[in-house]
Homo-oligomer: A and B are copies of this chain.
């Protein structure tokens, strides 16, 4: 098969989902882009895409990159791509940070061109619109990660702005979470307050050539030492970098790899992935139920129940029981 296939009768069609999956696995960027678009647009083919990807999942290490605006997240992501490429890895980047130069592409179109990596066929960069101005992740993020995973990426970096609950969401999606800090950009104590000291597997103090970097590192080390960790558990390392020059970035890559090795041997990788799959299944099931309730038939039932609640002959809890009874068979 090559080019657009034409199935059935006279009408010409685009490539089938199976074909797209094959091409994506062979490293064809256009097929990857197409699959992510199908997922992101919640196209009727969404289920077919997900079923087609399933057998090819589970190779990629999903690495979340998070930190407050200004810590040098985009520069660090770019430097990490370069360092990962130098070790021969195929790399995917999913940018969901609205302030990131990568994610400008969410407005411009499919694929973001990133100067250093635009011509490298082993790097696939994709931006996604965030869900809203609160900076949360798009519902399609896990699905897009599956596309990049099935497409043969060894590592997928997911970059998000460190605002609100998106760091926590990223940590739940990732195998390994890298938390970035920088001197003067909200210090380690601020980070502790924001709760990000609980989610990092690797800590990076970027802009290590600036005043205050050692102080941030020291504060961070002291705070991490307070955490009560079981024997044999992972001790999150702290790496100092200057992302702009690449200094220290190889060490970050080494720590990310060490974390994967530890996760595999300790069983933590399986646990994290199982939890992720549960989250994903639950979220899809809830969405499916809401859609059912939105159907014409169910809508009538829900309207009737709502009318009873409004007039006071029923209460919302009783009505919810009846809704579940009526529409979950």
| A residues whose Cβ falls under 8 Å from a Cβ of B | 46-47, 50-51, 53-58, 132-134, 142-143, 164-165, 270, 273-275, 277-278, 280-282, 284-286, 288-290, 293, 302-303, 305-307, 309-321, 323-324, 328-329
Contact = CB atoms under 8 A, between A and B. Distances in A.
A73 to B, nearest CB: 20
Interface centre among A285, A306, A318 (most CB of B within 10 A): A285
A232 B221 CA distance: 65
Contacts of A282: 290, 293, 302, 320, 323
Top 8 A-B pairs, shortest CB-CB distance: A328-B328, A277-B306, A284-B320, A54-B315, A277-B309, A285-B320, A50-B315, A278-B306
Contacts of A329: 328-329
| A interface secondary structure, majority | helix
A280 B302 contact: no
Nearest to A270: B310
Interface centre among A46, A58, A311, A313 (most CB of B within 10 A): A311
Contacts of A305: 277-278, 281
A133 B134 CA distance: 11
Contacts of A47: 315, 317-318
Contacts of A319: 277, 281, 284
Nearest to A50: B315
A285 B286 CA distance: 10
A315 B285 contact: no
A312 B57 contact: yes
A31 B58 CA distance: 55
A294 to B, nearest CB: 10
A205 B92 CA distance: 50
A286 B289 contact: yes
Contacts of A312: 54-58
A68 to B, nearest CB: 14
19 contacts: A47-B317, A50-B315, A53-B315, A58-B310, A134-B164, A134-B165, A142-B316, A143-B316, A273-B310, A274-B307, A274-B310, A277-B305, A277-B319, A280-B316, A281-B306, A281-B320, A284-B319, A284-B320, A289-B324
A19 B24 CA distance: 66
Contacts of A278: 302-303, 305-306
B50 A316 contact: yes
Given A281-B320, A286-B289, 16 more contacts: A47-B317, A50-B315, A50-B316, A50-B318, A51-B315, A51-B317, A51-B318, A54-B312, A58-B311, A134-B134, A143-B316, A277-B305, A277-B319, A278-B302, A278-B303, A288-B320
Contacts of A314: 54
